[in-house]
């Protein structure tokens, strides 16, 4: 295996295959205010066969010692864009154990033996790369934020998000993406193997290499198609929004973890019990470094909320809490439940607002028509233009006359003009139905 330092990623791609970012590598494409693409802004159509040849010829270097990391940092400083993936284990621990970091700088693939390395410099270097290419980066960025202490990344390009714009499929896997876009098949059967074992098997190593080997080619293929359709800026904006959302999810306070399990049908007392139990579970899982579900599964938490057990007998017979955890922590948990039940109502957390429900479909049909019309106009799939979660939040803002600053972040970016000028007036025209469908008494 070669140990020479990588040059810029565009050096690994013949000039007739690289994109126009070579002239502006210091600043990647950012969202613009319109959907038009000037011919001069469209990169040359990539030669997929040539890109795959380059991928096959990329050198592979293992980095197992700290001094070997300097070559990687130097390569990142000049590569312009980098493709990344991680392998980790989180089956029986609260904190994921990072086993491997894979990077492809265009003509060089690095496999970083994470348990043997201090990676602080790597995290800083990755923040400065123009474009960091991932596929389905949710768990990977969660680990990045956990280990790096860095602020939200602003250089993310997630090929899964990009593919949703072209296919309407929100969660296309990497294997299918390569099949569909590059006519390239890779084996994914080792995704759940033991990545902390050393040495890795030949099959594991090949799997890890393949996870980043073809990402630059996939990126160039998607970039060309997105720019041709005038969608690249939308995708870029949504990728940065996703990176920010992942950062926020990684930094939720223990006291707010209950909201991920809350139900609008819970009373304020049940919400108080849920908050207390969820906070206790989070603190115990972290202290003992075991998954939350090893402490109490979500089903058992729901049973505690509805049954409100007062004794070990009730906790054992009315919930599905694991018996070993019951023996270890049952009395402690009962104390947590009792304290929550004894709170004054003024100390209870707020109940969730009910979602919109109505047998009258006039509002739903009008809103869906507006979404479909805009989706067709700009060439974006309707389920990508408007996510169900965003629409539910928009309904809440409108029904309860909240300030428009409380709109979800996804509706404050490039979608905002359409939301403000078209969608909100449609909802406003059916506001009585909306409020009735959310349980508000309308006079």
The answer to whether the pTM exceeds 0.85 is yes
Q: Each residue's pLDDT tens digit in the chain (443 positions)? A: 333 333 333 333 333 334 433 333 344 444 443 455 556 678 889 999 999 999 999 999 999 999 999 999 999 999 999 999 999 999 999 999 999 999 999 999 999 999 999 999 999 999 999 999 999 999 999 999 999 999 999 999 999 999 999 999 999 999 999 999 999 998 877 667 899 999 999 999 999 999 999 999 999 999 999 999 999 999 999 999 999 999 999 999 999 999 999 999 999 999 999 999 999 999 999 999 999 999 999 999 999 999 999 999 999 999 999 999 999 999 999 999 999 999 999 999 999 999 999 888 899 999 999 999 999 999 999 999 999 999 999 999 999 999 999 999 999 999 999 999 999 999 999 999 999 999 998 77
**Residue 191: what pLDDT?**
67
- Residue 277 to residue 282: CA distance in whole angstroms: 9
Domain range summary for the chain, segments of one domain joined by +: 30-250, 254-347, 362-437
Q: Is 30-250 assigned to CATH 3.30.420.10?
A: yes
* CATH number of this structure's domain 362-437, picked from the four choices 1.10.150, 1.20.1070, 3.30.70, 3.40.50: 1.10.150
* CATH number of this structure's domain 254-347, picked from the four choices 1.20.1560.10, 3.40.640.10, 3.40.50.880, 1.10.150.80: 1.10.150.80
Nearest-5° Cα angle at 390, 151 to 417? 90
Reported as half-sphere exposure (CB side, CA atoms, 13 A), residue 116 has a value of 16
- Residue 217 to residue 225: CA distance in whole angstroms: 13
Common-topology check for domains 254-347 and 362-437: yes
- Residue 402 to residue 394: CA distance in whole angstroms: 10
Does residue 160 contact residue 136 with C-beta atoms inside 8 Å? Answer: yes
CA dihedral 357, 362, 368, 372 (to 10 degrees): 170
Q: Would the CA dihedral through 194, 196, 202, 206 be positive or negative?
A: positive
**Residue 218: what pLDDT?**
98
Nearest alpha-carbon partner for 205 in 64, 305, 320, 73: 64
Q: Is 112 exposed, middle or buried (0-12, 13-18, 19+ CB in 10 A)?
A: buried
Write phi, then psi, for 183 (nearest 5 degrees).
55, 45
**Residue 23: what pLDDT?**
35
């Amino acid at each position: 295996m070669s140990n020479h330092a990588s040059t810029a990623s565009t050096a690994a791609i013949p000039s007739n295959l690289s994109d126009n970012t070579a002239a502006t590598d210091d600043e990647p494409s950012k969202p613009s205010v319109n959907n038009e693409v000037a011919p001069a802004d469209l990169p040359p159509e990539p030669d997929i066969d040539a890109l795959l040849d380059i991928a096959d010829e990329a050198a592979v270097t293992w980095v197992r010692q700290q001094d070997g990391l300097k070559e990687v940092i130097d390569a990142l400083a000049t590569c312009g864009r980098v493709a990344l993936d991680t392998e980790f284990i989180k089956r029986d621990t609260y904190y994921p154990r990072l086993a491997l970091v894979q990077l492809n700088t265009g003509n060089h693939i690095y496999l970083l033996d994470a348990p043997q390395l201090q990676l602080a410099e790597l995290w800083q270097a990755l923040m400065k790369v123009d474009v960091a290419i991932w596929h389905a980066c949710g768990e990977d960025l969660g680990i990045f934020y956990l280990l790096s202490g860095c602020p939200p990344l602003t250089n993310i390009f997630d090929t899964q998000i990009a593919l949703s714009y072209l296919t309407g499929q929100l969660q296309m896997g990497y294997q299918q993406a390569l099949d569909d876009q590059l006519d390239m098949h890779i084996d994914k059967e080792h995704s759940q193997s033991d990545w902390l074992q050393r040495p890795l098997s030949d099959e594991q190593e090949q799997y890890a290499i393949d996870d980043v080997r073809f990402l630059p080619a996939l990126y160039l293929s998607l970039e060309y198609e997105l720019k041709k359709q005038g969608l690249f800026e939308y995708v870029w904006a949504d990728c940065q929004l996703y990176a920010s959302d992942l950062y926020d999810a990684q930094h939720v306070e223990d006291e707010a973890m209950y909201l991920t399990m809350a139900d609008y049908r819970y009373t304020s007392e049940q919400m108080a019990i849920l908050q207390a139990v969820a906070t206790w579970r989070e603190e115990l899982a972290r202290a003992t470094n075991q998954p939350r579900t090893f402490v109490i599964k979500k089903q058992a938490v729901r049973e505690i909320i509805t049954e409100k057990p007062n004794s070990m007998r009730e906790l054992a017979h009315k919930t599905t809490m694991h018996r070993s955890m019951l023996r270890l922590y049952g009395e402690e948990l009962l104390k947590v439940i009792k304290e929550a039940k004894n709170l004054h109502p003024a100390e209870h957390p707020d109940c969730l607002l009910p979602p919109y429900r109505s047998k009258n479909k006039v509002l739903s049909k009008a809103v869906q028509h507006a979404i479909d019309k805009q989706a067709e106009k700009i060439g974006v799939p309707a389920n990508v233009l408007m996510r169900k979660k965003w629409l539910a939040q928009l309904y809440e803002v409108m029904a309860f006359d909240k300030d428009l600053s409380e709109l979800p972040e996804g509706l404050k970016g490039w979608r905002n003009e359409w939301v403000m000028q078209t969608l909100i007036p449609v909802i406003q025209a059916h506001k009585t139905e909306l409020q009735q469908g959310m349980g508000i008494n309308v006079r």
